Structure 1
Amino acid sequence: MNAPVTTTGVRTEPRRTGERRRPSRGAAGAFLRGTAGAAVLTLAFEAFARLELVDARLLPPATVILPEALRLLTEPAFLVEVWATLVAVLGGVAVAAAIAVPLGVLIGSYRLAALGLTPIIDSLRSVPGIAIIPLLVLVMGQGLQMKVTIVAFVALWPLLFNTVYGVRSVDPVALETARSFRVPLLRTWWRVVLPSALPLMLTGLRLALATGLTVGIAAEIAVGTQDGIGYFILRPSYAGFRADTVFAAVTLAGVLGYVLNWVTVAGAARLVAWDGKGPS
């Protein structure tokens, strides 16, 4: 049997039965590049701190911060605070998703709904999340309910707009086919619209988690809550400033954000493997 000819005119050998594709090196390469970038940044920070242009008590070097970060990872008290922040962030993003997905499908599907709701949405999304914290504190106090609400408010917009754009990018041929076969509206949304919009919705989820974590920790610091990573960062200023502990907690907050992003990208790669574009 002759080998198949490609469009470039070069013959290629047919794939043998049972032959496995070689694993892609893209993920490994990205990890190595990220590790190298983090190492360069750490060395630059170490060199700057060693110049002592800033008081070492306020800006400790990386060789002091990293061991403190490792110590915090084994400290149950710090892990409890991480869990408190994580619960608030995940709860807020879940609330935002419950609102954004059906609302985004509605706006993306019907022009009249878009015309009626767009002015309200544009007005609300122009309000900085931090600006409504005092109002939330007055109404809800300083506990978990306030943190979930502020995270839900800031996470709503990337989820909503990515859902709208995803719905509007659905192949019209698929929709017309569903209509021609008289598929019920709800089933069309579930079987045609949502799967097509899922890649952009997952991108919105990734952005929502990153924004929610940032604003959640900022709210904990601004309000002075009694739990969370923000509380752990703020606490050293009450009884003897410990810059190494503060920088270590901030570093671990960044690591937590990286882990959330990695989990989202890995999950998206599995859920929308058919998309062919990979997680964005």
Structure 2
Amino acid sequence: MNYSNNQIDGGTRSLGRARPAGERKMQVIGFLTTFALHATIVGGIIYGAYATPEEDAVDAPVMMEFQNVELLALGEKKPPNQLPRVANPAPPEVKEKSVNLAKPAEEPPPKVEEKQPEAKPQKQESRRNKLLDDLQELNNPNRPTNDEVPEGSADGVASGTVSDAAMANMMNTYQVRLLEALGKYWRVPSTLTHEEINALAGKVAVYVRLSEGGHIVSFRFTTKSDNAQFDASIERLLRRFEVSGGRKLPMPEAPEVRDAVLRQGLNLRNWKAVTGK
């Protein structure tokens, strides 16, 4: 037992002797690593403390400062109570009066226009005599006259071809034809009696403007019937002959009547012909 214990103690001691050599090696390596790390940190701090201001001083541009300095004027020093000097320029040089003795150039004598003899007013005399002769012809009682008044209008022109009566007759004929075309599509309110419709139709007057194609361009009531239903039925009827409604009205065949209708329009009055009452 003692022998074995001694062997064990001997082995333990041998192991104890080998372990301090490895630990020392590791301690030396750790110490060197720690020293190098701390040296690097301390060196960086020292370098930053001393090297950075120099770099900033080199990189920073040098700012030049200027001050407003008034320069002294060159001259003599004057006493403080001396008045300022006023400039007194010399007067201008006066030239002596000179007389121009040169002989002026002679001007050419003015031209005298020769008066031509006045021509005798023969043309004026002949025109005057002709005018007097014409006036005497007007006062001649033996001159043949035409007392017949031509048929026409007081607002017409001398070259007109249609008389007022003939135009009125053709306009009335076209108006009847127009009302007949309208009556085919007119729906009179059924709530009105024949007597009421007859009375209302005699009051209504509508001014209508037509296009060359037969469409109603515009219309307005010049006289209403005082019955809203009756007037509304006429308004619906006329809108059916507008461009949007699609229906057309017949146009007059005579060119004079056609031009008058397109230029002046129509005032439709005789609505009784439409109702047939």
RCO greater where, 1 or 2, for CA within 8 Å and sep 6 or more? 1
TM surpasses 0.5: no
Classify the TM-score, shorter chain: under 0.3
Q: Give the TM-score taking structure 1 as reference length.
A: 0.22
| Greater share of helix | 1
Max Rg structure? 2
Q: Give the TM-score taking structure 2 as reference length.
A: 0.22
| Greater share of strand | 2
